[in-house]
Amino acid sequence: MRDLFDRITENKGPLGKWADQAEGYFVFPKLEGPISNRMHFRGKEVITWSVNDYLGLANHPEVRKVDAEAATAYGAAYPMGARMMSGHTSLHEQLQEELAAFVNKEAAYLLNFGYQGILSTIDTLVSKNDVIVYDVDAHACIIDGVRLHLGKRFTYKHNDIESLEKNLQRATKQAEQSGGGILVISEGVFGMRGEQGKLKEIAALKKKYNFRFLVDDAHGFGTLGATGAGAGEEQGVQDEIDVYFATFAKSMASTGAFIAGDKEIIDYLKYNMRSQMFAKSLQMQLVVGALKRLEMLRTQPELKAKLWENVNALQKGLKDNGFDIGKTQSCVTPVYLKGSIPEAMALVQDLRENFGIFCSIVVYPVIPKGLILLRLIPTSSHTMEDIEITLDAFAQIRSKLEQGVYQMAAKTVGSTN
Ligand SMILES: Cc1ncc(COP(=O)(O)O)c(C=O)c1O
pLDDT tens column, 263-314:
999 999 999 999 999 999 999 999 999 999 999 999 999 999 999 999 999 9
Do 142 and 82 lie in a common domain?
yes
In a domain, 316, yes or no: yes
Q: Which of 64, 55, 86 is nearest to 310 (CA)?
A: 55
CA 318, CA 395: separation in Å to the nearest integer?
Answer: 9
**pLDDT of residue 190 exceeding 80:** yes
Among protein residues, the one whose CA lies closest to atom 2 of ligand 1: 218
CA distance 318 to 336: 11
Please determine, for residue 414, whether its predicted confidence score (pLDDT) is greater than 80: no
Question: Which residue among 113, 137, 141 is best mutated to probe the pocket of ligand 1, counting the most ligand atoms within 8 A of its Cβ?
Answer: 141
Atom of ligand 1 nearest to the CA of 256: 10
What is the 70 CA–ligand 1 centroid distance (Å)? 24
Query: Ligand 1 pocket check: which of 51, 115, 217 to mutate, most ligand atoms within 8 Å of Cβ?
Result: 115
In CATH, what number is assigned to the domain containing residue 362? 3.90.1150.10
Which of 280, 299, 318 represents a domain boundary (last residue)? 299
Judge contact between 380 and 310, C-beta under 8 A. yes
pLDDT greater than 70 at residue 417 = no
pLDDT at res. 86:
96
Shared domain for 292 and 330, answered yes or no, is no
Domain boundary (299, 332, 350) is at 299
Q: Are 228 and 254 part of one and the same domain? A: yes
In a domain, 235, yes or no: yes
Ligand 1 surroundings by CB, under 6 angstroms: 113-115, 118, 139, 141, 187, 191, 216, 218, 247, 249, 257
pLDDT, average across residues 105-117: 97
For 33-64, write each residue's pLDDT tens digit.
999 999 999 999 999 999 999 999 999 999 99
Residues 6 or more apart whose CB falls under 8 angstroms from that of 55 comprise 222, 223, 251, 253, 296, 297, 303, 304, 307, 379, 380
Q: Is the peptide bond before 365 cis (omega within 30 degrees of 0)?
A: yes
Cα-Cα end-to-end distance for the chain:
38
What distance in angstroms lies between residue 348's CA and the mean position of ligand 1's atoms? 25
Please report whether residue 5 resides in a domain.
no
| Spatial distance between the Cα atoms of 140 and 155, rounded to a whole number of angstroms | 14
Domain boundary among the residues 252, 274, 299 is at: 299
* For range 352-365, the mean pLDDT: 93
Average pLDDT, the chain: 95
Structural domain includes residue 234: yes
CA of 220 relative to ligand 1 center, distance in Å = 12
Assign 3-class secondary structure to the chain: CCCCCHHHHHCCCCCHHHHHHHECCCECCCEECCCCCEEEECCEEEEECCCCCCCCCCCCHHHHHHHHHHHHHHCCCCCCCCCCCCCCCHHHHHHHHHHHHHCCCCEEEEECCHHHHHHHHHHHHCCCCCEEEEECCCCHHHHHHHHCCCCCEEEECCCCHHHHHHHHHHHHHHHHHHCCCEEEEEECECCCCCCECCHHHHHHHHHCCCCEEEEECCCCCCCCCCCCCCHHHHCCCHHHCCEEEEECCCCCCCCCEEEEECHHHHHHHHHHCHHHHCCCCCCHHHHHHHHHHHHHHHHCHHHHHHHHHHHHHHHHHHHHCCCECCCCCCCCEEEEEECCHHHHHHHHHHHHHHCCEECEEECCCCCCCCEEEEEECCCCCCCHHHHHHHHHHHHHHHHHHHCCHHHHHHHHCCCCC
Q: How far is CA 365 from the centre of its chain?
A: 19
Q: Same domain for 408 and 352?
A: yes
User: The domain that contains 282 carries what CATH number?
Assistant: 3.40.640.10
CA 222–ligand 1 middle distance (angstroms): 14
- Residues 63-89: tens digit of each pLDDT: 999 999 999 999 999 999 999 999 999
Confidence tier at 18 by pLDDT (50, 70, 90) = confident
Of 404, 388, 391, the residue nearest 346 (C-alpha): 404
What does the pLDDT average to over 95-103? 98
Residues 221 and 149 in one domain: yes
Predicted local distance difference test score (pLDDT) of residue 204 = 98
104 and 176: one domain? yes
Residues 120 and 199 in one domain: yes
Task: Specify if 148 maps to a domain.
Answer: yes
Structural domain for 146, as ranges: 61-299
Query: Which class for 57: exposed (0-12), middle (13-18), buried (19 or more C-beta within 10 A)?
Result: buried
Banded pLDDT at 411 (limits 50, 70, 90): low
| Residue 113 alpha carbon to ligand 1 centre in Å | 8
Q: Domain check: are 232 and 311 in the same one?
A: no
Q: How far is the CA of 173 from the centre of ligand 1 (A)?
A: 32
Q: Whose CA is nearest to atom 10 of ligand 1?
A: 114
Report how far ligand 1's centroid is from the alpha carbon of 58 (Å): 17
Flag whether 289 is in a domain: yes
Nearest CA to ligand 1 atom 7: 114
Report if residue 411 sits inside a domain.
yes
Domain annotation covers residue 6: no
pLDDT of 412:
61
Are 261 and 114 members of one domain? yes
Same-domain check for residues 289 and 312: no
Same domain, yes or no: 91 and 238: yes
Based on the structure, what is the number of domains in the chain?
2
pLDDT value at 416 more than 50:
no
Same domain, 75 and 199: yes
